[in-house]
Homo-oligomer: A and B are copies of this chain.
Amino acid sequence: MVNKVVGSFEEAVADVFDGATIMFGNFAGPGGFPINLCRALRHKGVKNLTIIGNTAGGIGLTTDFDDQAILFENRQVKKVIASFPFSISPSRPSPCEKQVLAGEVELEIVPQGTLAERIRAAGYGIGAFYTPTGVGTVVEKGKEKRVINGREMLLEYALPADFAFIRAFKADKLGNLVYRGTQRNFNPIMATAARITIAEVDEIVEAGEIDPEAIVTPGIFVNRIVKVTKQEDFPRHLERSFWVKTA
């Protein structure tokens, strides 16, 4: 059987090329973000990347961590497709914000639900879809609009990528993944939408050690698995399950 387990983050990103389009699972903090894959990408130094994700890093939360901001600092990004690309605090602009305002990086800003649905569409072979989100706003600029069931909707196209860098909790050796709480965010849908999906996980177990009814990402979507060896200093309580039993 094909071995999906890769020994290091450097090895996992070895074939990322200049000009590649890369999705990053993330939301508003370090949970659910593939921090070690991101660092390996900065170390590799490939340029002219298009990055896709909810944020573009450096949004200014109290928890500071190495997110996509390090790629901007290293001048590796050409284009960003995101829903929340800027800092929450105007007085502390992110590297992305500075480079977008300086005209050095191109930005496509997308409503969060439309971003998620476009990614899923790419993974699931849907060419485009009509959504009511964005009608009457800057988002509709240049887009086809039609009335469906009495409601104006915009045509939005599938958004695929060359690579998806994702974060999960456990993988089995077939690549089946489970997540932990709100760590899921964009990770399961991005896994479907890239030619190569690389998952950063806390633990790798044998096939059969994860409940088949609880698997979120089937292994067929995952090409490479890398185990995190050093835990970050975030408020993380791995010993604790979120399962508050009443029984």
Binding site for B on A (CB under 8 A): 117, 121, 124-132, 148-149, 151, 153, 157-158, 178-181, 205-209, 211-214, 216, 242-247
Measured CA separation A205–B246 after assembly (Å): 10
Query: Which residue, A129, A153, A181, A246, has most C-beta atoms of chain B within 10 A?
Result: A129
In this complex, what residue of B is CB-closest to A128?
Answer: B130
Protomer copies = 2
Q: Indicate if the CB atoms of A214 and B212 lie closer than 8 Å.
A: no
Q: Indicate if the CB atoms of B126 and A129 lie closer than 8 Å.
A: yes
Provide 20 A-B residue pairs closer than 8 Å at the C-beta atoms, listed in order of the A residue: A117-B124, A117-B126, A121-B129, A125-B131, A125-B132, A126-B130, A126-B131, A127-B129, A127-B131, A127-B148, A127-B153, A128-B129, A129-B129, A129-B130, A148-B157, A206-B246, A211-B214, A213-B214, A213-B243, A214-B214
Known: A149-B158, A179-B213. 15 other contacts (CB 8 A): A121-B129, A125-B131, A126-B129, A126-B130, A127-B131, A127-B132, A127-B149, A127-B151, A129-B129, A148-B158, A208-B244, A209-B245, A212-B243, A213-B216, A213-B242
Q: Indicate if the CB atoms of A208 and B246 lie closer than 8 Å.
A: yes
Q: Indicate if the CB atoms of B180 and A213 lie closer than 8 Å.
A: yes
The DSSP consensus for interface residues of chain A is loop
Measured CA separation A246–B148 after assembly (Å): 51
In this complex, what residue of B is CB-closest to A151?
Answer: B127
In this complex, what residue of B is CB-closest to A160?
Answer: B149
Chain B residue numbers with a CB within 8 Å of A179 are 213
Chain B residue numbers with a CB within 8 Å of A246 are 206-209
In this complex, what residue of B is CB-closest to A154?
Answer: B127
Chain B residue numbers with a CB within 8 Å of A211 are 211, 214, 243
In this complex, what residue of B is CB-closest to A184?
Answer: B213
Top 4 A-B pairs, shortest CB-CB distance: A127-B148, A208-B246, A214-B214, A127-B130
Measured CA separation A20–B163 after assembly (Å): 46
Chain B residue numbers with a CB within 8 Å of A213 are 178-181, 214, 216, 242-243
Q: A127-B149, A128-B129, A157-B148 are in contact. Are A247 and B206 (CB under 8 A)?
A: yes
